[in-house]
Amino acid sequence: MQVENWSWIGGALHSAFGEMQALSVWEAVAVALALAYLLLAMKRNRLCWVAAFASTAIYTVLFYEVALLMESALNVYYMAMAVYGYWLWQKDTDDELKVSSWSLSRHLLLIAVTTLVSLGCGYLMANYTQASFPYLDAATTCFAVMTTYLVAKKVLENWLYWVVIDVVSIYLYLSKGLMMTSLLFVLYVGMAVAGYFIWRAALAEQREPVLALG
């Protein structure tokens, strides 16, 4: 029995290693573009959406190949949001689209609605598809859909949502052998924290003239 167990583990590791090699080149490109997106987003540079479009196009295929169906569908949405975000951020003048902060009650409503939607999606995936980790996959997807919209609207708290989403995503990607993507999301957690403080400082700067006039 012990020999059979070790044989099974060895076979699984060999299979995972083979899959990792096949995915590694495209995954590396997607990771590099995703990092470029986040760094540019932290600086509020609209070119971040160009990097996002290219990265998510690659991830759409990668996640489909490893049966993370909602993650794959999410990246199709990301591609559309990259176009929308680029268009919206072009309007970033003195009069439009500054960093904003939403009230706690508004965020609690968002969380409640998104949780209900993710539970419904998870149930459908668990019962009608071959998706892996259907409820976790659905939760990260639904919350990422909502949070990406917050990024496009430059809502400060988007970075806090990303911290939670990224931590859960690390587990999903590790379980599927996407090692470089897992490492990317470890970096994402730290960068999301940094992004929050950078945007909070920008919000404070925006409010200074108002305080001075008051």
Please report the pLDDT score of residue 29 as a whole number. 87
- Summarize pLDDT for 64-82 with one digit per residue, the tens: 887 777 778 878 988 999 9
- Summarize pLDDT for 145-200 with one digit per residue, the tens: 999 999 999 999 999 999 999 999 999 888 878 787 788 889 889 999 999 999 99
Q: What is the pTM of this model?
A: 0.76
Please report the pLDDT score of residue 179 as a whole number. 81
Least confident of 128-137, 150-159, 204-213: 204-213
Structure tokens at 134: 């259907």
Please report the pLDDT score of residue 15 as a whole number. 53
**Long-range contacts at 149-152 (CB < 8 A, ≥ 24 apart):** 149/81, 151/41, 151/85, 152/81, 152/84, 152/85, 152/88, 152/89
Please report the pLDDT score of residue 3 as a whole number. 46
Please report the pLDDT score of residue 27 as a whole number. 81
Q: Among candidates 192, 173, 191, which has minimal Cα distance to 182?
A: 173
**CB distance 138 to 121 below 8 Å:** yes
- Summarize pLDDT for 38-47 with one digit per residue, the tens: 899 988 888 9
pLDDT at residue 208 is higher than 80: no
Indicate the pLDDT class of residue 210, thresholds 50, 70 and 90: low
- Summarize pLDDT for 82-114 with one digit per residue, the tens: 999 998 888 655 456 789 999 999 999 999 999
Please report the pLDDT score of residue 143 as a whole number. 95
